[in-house]
Every structure is written in structure tokens, then in C-alpha cells.
Structure 1
């Protein structure tokens, strides 16, 4: 059975997965369009980080970052570092992690969840996952700017 639980981004196997994720991002997108976070950034107080494991084996990860919003606009969050191991792809791990993050966002009374992903074909499976869960395209949010290599999405909770 696969379990999604809070974890430490600096844990050895997680650190390795995040390093591979960053390498994939830099191999796929121009450096100025890579917005993935390393293990140190994912340890910030504004970020909650989870991993999916089966019998102790790391299968994937994801994070929820609190976004400061304008007064009256409600609590908002951003999905960060959604990634699965190559061997876990196609097993529903990303869906489990995404649902866990969305459940937590609802528990925290967030009104909207945002994300940034790549525009390249490499990211098409991720974009399909988000669309299946109700995400729609939106303009850049928080500190992001318009970028032809990025797709910005939101989900109103």
C-alpha cells in the first residue's frame, strides 16, 4: 500500500530524487524558466513537503507553499516539486500526492491553489493530470512573470 506522509526534503533518498528532478528541469527548459526548488528551499517554513512510499521505497513527492495574498483575497497556496520516480510512473502516485495536497489545502481553508509547470511536450502528462483534477490556465501569479516556457494553472477550492 502506498502512503503519503510528511517528510524531510534533506533525507538521502529524497535529496537524490529532488536532484534528479532539478536535472530533468534544466535539461528540458531554459535555465531562466526553471522554477523547481531544491531540498534546502523546500525546507522553508512556508512549505509543507510530503513523499509517497510503498514498503519504505520512495515513489514520489510534492509540496504545498503558502502564498501571501492581498487582503481580502483569501488564503492561497502553490503546488511545488510534484515528481515521481521513473519506476512509479503510471501507478497513480502523482494522483495520490496531488489529492493529499488538495485535501490539506482544503483543511487549511485555502480558496485557491496555483501551480507553474512547463509548456514543453515533456510536461504534457503533468498538465493532463492537473486538468483532470479541475485546474485551468491562469495568468502568472505571485512573483512569476509571463514566460513562453511556463504554463500557469489554478484551482478554486
Structure 2
């Protein structure tokens, strides 16, 4: 009886190994056929226009601070001017946090959340602080309206 149980178990193991090995083999061939990695986006200079979808997030300032709206633009990958470069990313940053310096700027962005907007970039750098949720930070900017 033990020989029969051993034969059944070994047949079951053989079936399982072949069933699991087939998808792994096809996955390896799929990985080999992947396209080359994406190239870095075009350079964004001071005065250039950055377009993308505007997102808003609520963040808490300080240990028990009030909730503050933080805005970011999601765009195609862009390179930053030196010395920031690619921000330690393969293709450059895709999310850009907009730093709000006045209530007027916050009012401009409040009604445009979830929509496509364009901003003129006056100062941009890589995100470095722990509280920044984007890959790059635009500290000076202005909204560009379409005519």
C-alpha cells in the first residue's frame, strides 16, 4: 500500500510542477520582449508652460496643525534644468507640486481640480523634504489662460 500511495503522490507532484513551470517559462519570454526603457522627457526651463491634470490633496501641517490643501500637476515626464536634472528618476518627474503663497493663488486653483490646466514655470526644483508628495516642486508659477 505504501508503494501505491507513493506513486500517486509522485504523479501529483509531477503534474503540479509541469503546470506551474509552463506559465513561468512564458513569463520569461514576455519579459525579454519588453520595449526599451522610456527616454527622459524634454527639458523644462524657466518661463516654459507646463500642462497637465490638477490634483488636490489635504495635508496636515505640523504635529496637530490644520488641514491644508496641496495641489499638484500630473504631466508627461520632464527633465529639470541643472543641477536638479532628473531628480534621481529614470525618465524625470511626472508630478509637480504647486507651492501656494497667497489666498489668490489658492482661489485660482480651487475650481480647476480634476481639469487640465497650464502654468508658467518661474522656479522649479526636485522634491527633497519629507512632506512633499510630488517628485518636483514649482515654487513660483502663474496660471496661463487659453484665449
- TM-score normalised by the shorter chain: which range applies? under 0.3
What's the TM-score once normalised by structure 2's chain length? 0.23
What's the TM-score once normalised by structure 1's chain length? 0.22
> Which of the two has higher C-alpha Rg?
2
| Higher share in helix | 1
